[in-house]
A = this chain, B = another copy of it.
Amino acid sequence: MTYSLAIHGGAGTILKSRLTPEREAAYHAGLQAALAAGAAVLRADGRALDAVTAAVCVLEDDPLFNAGRGAVFTSAGAQEMDAAVMDGRDRRAGAVAGIFGPKNPVLLARAVMERTGHVCLIGPNALELARAAGLAFEDPEYFFTEARWQSLQKVLALAAEGRVSDDPAQRHGTVGAVARDRAGDLAAATSTGGMTGKAPGRVGDTPMIGAGTFADNATCAVSGTGHGEVFIRWTAAAEIAARMRHRGDSLEAAANAVVMDELAAVDGSGGVIAVDRDGTIAMPFNCEGMYRGWVREGSAAETAIYADAR
């Protein structure tokens, strides 16, 4: 069997007019680096779970993407991060919500899965687990980026006038990865800083298993990005798997039905990346763009932002 890997760095109305060629190149480079990290694991006969973790770590470390370093700010000016992983072999899952401190939230989500009998941890005890697991911590200066801070000021200024930003891409963002390894196992990982100006304590779809993150060898692995509240209410990721299992839909048909029909009908702006047990990749999104990349064994890694390229 051959491996497949897909990643995303967030979806939204990414306005081409605001993206300089330099910045666009930086996004492509960041996506390529994440693909390379994940593909290296898979090429060495590594597990899908390790590949998606490795890819998401690279995106968390890149300040261009809204996760880990470069996460957005809450309305109170803090950074609160959510992350999740899921292993398609046995549907084991781990998640954290509202954390700040660990360099790579996705590694803490994985520690919850591997070191506790629980799926989701929040609060000080999650950070204690990170310390017990020997995970790296970083100072607030590490996570801070001027661009995200300015986005918050803009959102707060507009909110004071009772308005919302005309550029959702400034507000949203998530990173994620899905993979099938050479053993045929699937896995998914997602990590995010949430929405700029979100209420402190808001938990989005990322750590909600079945909403923004899902993996089951019987069907597919999915990572979502977009308007989290709608993804939660429509259990977006699990719904793609359910359509495959109960209707016999192909991955592409199932992912398109959920993203292009169900979510779009209720203003659920966003997209997903998904891979099935045959290694097929689907990456539908119902907005102007989604930072994304994909690689299948034997083919070159590709990246794209807008709808024109797949």
Contacts and interface: CB of A to CB of B under 8 A. Distances in A.
B233 A242 contact: no
A234 to B, nearest CB: 7
Contacts of A208: 120, 208-210
Given A125-B201, A203-B97, A119 B242 contact: no
A123 B99 CA distance: 11
A228 B117 CA distance: 11
Interface in A159-208: 198-204, 208
A208 to B, nearest CB: 6
B247 A232 contact: no
A114 to B, nearest CB: 13
A234 B91 contact: yes
Given A125-B199, A208-B208, A210-B211, A235 B232 contact: no
A118 B234 contact: no
A199 to B, nearest CB: 6
Contacts of A202: 116, 118, 120-121
Which among A203, A229, A238 has the highest number of chain B CB atoms within 10 Å? Answer: A203
Interface string A262-300: 000000000000000000000000000000000000000
A122 interface: yes
A209 B232 contact: yes
A199 B91 contact: no
Which among A92, A119, A121 has the highest number of chain B CB atoms within 10 Å? Answer: A119
B203 A121 contact: yes
Interface in A115-168: 116-126
Interface in A25-39: none
B200 A123 contact: yes
Interface string A17-49: 000000000000000000000000000000000
A93 B121 CA distance: 21
Given A208-B209, A235-B235, A124 B229 contact: no
A209 to B, nearest CB: 5
A232 B91 CA distance: 10
A202 B129 CA distance: 12
Contact of A98 (B123, B204, B233, B234): B123
Contact of A125 (B97, B200, B204, B232): B200
A228 B93 CA distance: 12
